[in-house]
Structure 1
Amino acid sequence: MRFWQVNILHHLNALRCFEAAARLGSIRAAAEELNVTDGAVSRQVRQLEIYLGLSLFERGHRRISLTDSGTRLAQDVTASFNLLRRANQYLEFDQAKKPIVLAAPASFLLRWLIPRINRLQKALGETPLQLVTWDQQGCNIDSSISVSIRIGSPDSSADVINTAFMQEEFGLVVNPKLLGIPPSNIEEKILKIPRLIPKTRPNIWDQWIEESAVDTFDTPTIGFERMFFTLEAAEAGHGIAIAPRLLVTDSITSGRLVAPFGFISRKGKYYAVTAKWNEENQSVKKVINWFEKVGKEEKNYIQ
């Protein structure tokens, strides 16, 4: 074969196997580094030799050594792969500087995540974190979002990965001052307190009544645009609300709210959702792992 007819760029997989074997001096070591079998490396190297019409290795019992042609090729190929490895390091550095964009419903951000933001940032290290509201459950995740929080059912899109990190629960919450100190005649008092209803969850009271098997409430209602407004009003003593447990964990711990009837476990879960193209992004992995870790910790803590 004439030299100028050779185009080794058509055989990058074979070059990769040859370079590893030449650099490490071993087919087996090359196979371990590339996470393939010894036979796969040997076949790729042999195909490259056939294509070039040259012997690149002298093969002995359990050992290989480069021929003169193999030595010349290895010098240039290893130098080229070193440039690619260096470029990959630069890209990893750039990736670490790129902010993680975390999208979630506004109430989730305000009531749960922001109070824990320092812990998440610590897990991310020097990678910047950016929070955006994401209240549209039906929207597909786009390339501008690293991780989104979904509540209820997982995202059914084929190009995303759903990671459940906490069970969905909800219950009736109220400012403890409205029940008296110490609390007495709780059910009687509850039936006289206005109900607070968020526009974003207009059926939450009907769902709770049905799932808790309590009598229908017939008290006056006050509407709010968002869940977090509703819970702020409940903390201020303006009425009773049905709240996802996750959003009132801190308020119950601090005594700003109580849940006199406890919480009901629902079928839904909290999911951290990311696109499959982010699967190997180390910063995204750190975010997902953090949600799983904190979800387990708080499930034990709040029960």
Structure 2
Amino acid sequence: MEFEQRLTEIADKVTVALDQLIPPAQGPEANLMRAMRHAALANGKRMRPFYVIETGALFDADETALLRAAAALECVHTYSLVHDDLPCMDDDDLRRGQPTVHKAFDEATAVLAGDALLTLAFKILSGEDTHGDPMVRLRLIERLADAAGAKGMVGGQMIDMLEEESPRDLNTITRMQRLKTGALISYSVEAAAIIGGASENSRHALAGFAQDLGLAYQIADDLLDAEGDQDVVGKTLRRDESAGKANFVTVLGIEGARERVRLLAAQAKQHLAIFRDKANILLQSVDYVLDRTR
């Protein structure tokens, strides 16, 4: 319950911050702002912002700085979902329990809303309210650009789209998901470490934690896609199966995938040992990944 309460608390704070950062607008751009708000203010879990803020607590980092970094990261994550749902990508109708942006508005507006959310993220990080030290702000921007770009999330999406030309084996799937899903999860703990001035040992431990957690999260997502309840999950399921795409479940099988998640979760927890009791809620979050139903 402690973890779930903290997750809800952080999600609420991030939603309030996004509501302020993406205010309703009048005039010609009003429809764009409505589309951005439709995507960003939807009822998401806010897992990536959770890891920014909860990891920052390990170092007693400034909460305002953490919240702004978390909001920026959520803007990038949300933009990726908006674009991922487009007909030229996964062509999904449902996201976070509501119509996807291109369904609620139109395709062109969805593209522009995603573009605007991406650029807003860097605007947020560049502001003095994020951190008084411009070198810290620059580092946050640089690392988010790496995590979101061609050698991170976007690169992973490109590998995903090449399925027809190069069928996936386990190594390809692992690389794809370390980029597509894992890069932003890794950034979430890295951003907290940058803001909190973490030691090299702490940063190394957190990098290992995020890498194992990110892969575990994606395998759990594949299990949900295969076995979950669409009304609970809030998005279209069986997508890879319908498209004939391989994922961790199709390659490893249900039991093999579950065993891999358990192994990765145990490794993720071991990385947190250096933080002792201060990492209790982060440890609980790993159990949440193991038992995901949505």
TM-score in terms of structure 2 length:
0.23
TM-score in terms of structure 1 length:
0.22
More strand by share: 1
More helix by share: 2
